[in-house]
Structure 1
Amino acid sequence: MSRRLRRLPAILLPLVLAGTLAACGDDEGGSGSDDALHGITISGDVGKAPEVEWDGKLEVDKTETTVVTEGDGDEVKEGDQVSANIWIGNGYSQEKAYSTYDEGGKPEQFTASNDLSPVFRDAILGHTVGSRVAVTTTATEAFGESGNSQMGIAPDDSVLMVVDIMDIVVVLDGPQGDEQKAPKWAPDLVVDGDKVTGLDFTGTPEPDGKLRSAALIEGDGDKVTKGQTITVNYLGQVYKAKKPFDESYSREPASFAIGVGQVVSGWDKTLVGATVGSRMIIAIPPADGYGKQGNPDAGIKGTDTLYFVVDILAAS
């Protein structure tokens, strides 16, 4: 479903996800030695784009990890949801190849788990919030045998990655707060244990073309503000449809920026101001969803009203 959720940029997927990557790490399996940066100087404050001075072409044949700045926050542990900024340079050309700081400094969120590539996992796990960690590696270890053409990194190039660990985000296991009476316009939830599996429209009145939202559980956390990254579980179903067109309860929670146009406007307008821990029910008319064109890939027509249940599990 396009423009639904903020996913990892495709350009970053081979670096972050483990599937296509070779195993890596220095010979001792830990952080690199004092010369692991091969004469490269990295300066600037954590949370701002790093200033990198190269010492000629970066020549490496293995992956080494160096803590440039050690933060005084909590240590990242297995299973933590981590917010981090990433800067990547091409060691052959000594030029920047990618930076989250070019996108307004909005960090990406990752779960510290075995799903991460060894290159990225070693830059995150065991390090503390507020740290800046640098990794020197080969293009093939970072991105696979083909390198990364989108970043202009060829298979024979070397790579410098700088990771700023911004925060550990507390993600709830489910909604947390006070139950509220469901509004008359809302369908019933179909649940299996703690998971929402569908919506039952029996007795639900015809949509009236208005954007509507209500809290089925009023969360006891902070209010969501415009520009924050929120983590949610969700399920979406067209009015009177027999099954959902999309959901996350059978997968992992999804993270995306809210209130800035990265999702359908019906979400931006209703989730900003809701509280963390809330379970929201939302009715979205076409004007606040996919418009007259609908979303054929999801089986959504331009006249369909969309209903969502959204559990707000975190905001940062």
Structure 2
Amino acid sequence: MTAATSVAGAATYEELVERVRAGELGPDPRTLRIAVAFATRQAVRHDGRGTGYRNEVLSLRLAGAVGSCAVEPGALPDAAIDDCVGADVARLLDHPLVPVRVAALDAYLAHVTPHTPDHGARPFALSAGTSLEKSRARAGAVVELLDLPPGATVLVVGVVNSLLEALRSRNLGYVPCDLKGGFTEWGEEVVTDAFDAADRCDALLVSGMTLGNDTFEPLRRHALAHGKQLVMFAQTGSAVLPRFLGHGVSAVCAEPYPFFWLDAGPSILHRYRLACAGPGGGR
């Protein structure tokens, strides 16, 4: 799969926000209001896996689009949802909570540039199946976006065991990284300092959750400065991250709400990639 995105990009996250505020990428955000705000909470432990995890995601609906930002479980105050309902996008872009700002930006960009081939997206179908089957299928779709020789090492920011399993199956090494630390399914220590680990890795595979904890920009800058591939897997900011193709990001696997873990039926991912996204392709 090779496809060049056609959406207008930005050199930095702050530049993207400012362009939206100024109405340069679509309608004036002061004229668009959020109709629905909701939080999705999930706990999972796949059959055959020794560990489980929890997810919590804030989602905002703008017309026919939904923007999302994951949060640490229990960190989102109930009042945040009340703040968002009926509010215009411009006001939410200045909200004191980062996840609200990210979800509002995601909703706006999903509204003005939906995930369609005209905007550079290429659909990837996930078949119906168990939670583990769909997790593995999603992981395969993400890891395919890396263009690396066997033996290369990938920094994985936001540990998902199915992604690590997919890397192992392709004879790729990895350094698992997550702010929560801990251990992988195979007993490997999860590091907590992504920026220290990045120096010893050939490429970066990064969760969109980094938008919500302010770690995306340093990782993007690292990839750009060192000519490394940066592949994003994005439930958070699925419509935001394609804007950085060519500015440090080499590919995005975008997954807007509803996410694969919510439904046993078939679902669709949207993959974006630079026309030439090999090593250094993020430049």
Higher strand share: 1
Fold agreement, TM-score > 0.5: no
**TM-score, scaled relative to structure 1:** 0.25
TM-score when normalising by structure 2: 0.27
Q: Which of the pair has the greater relative contact order for Cα pairs under 8 Å at 6+ separation?
A: 2
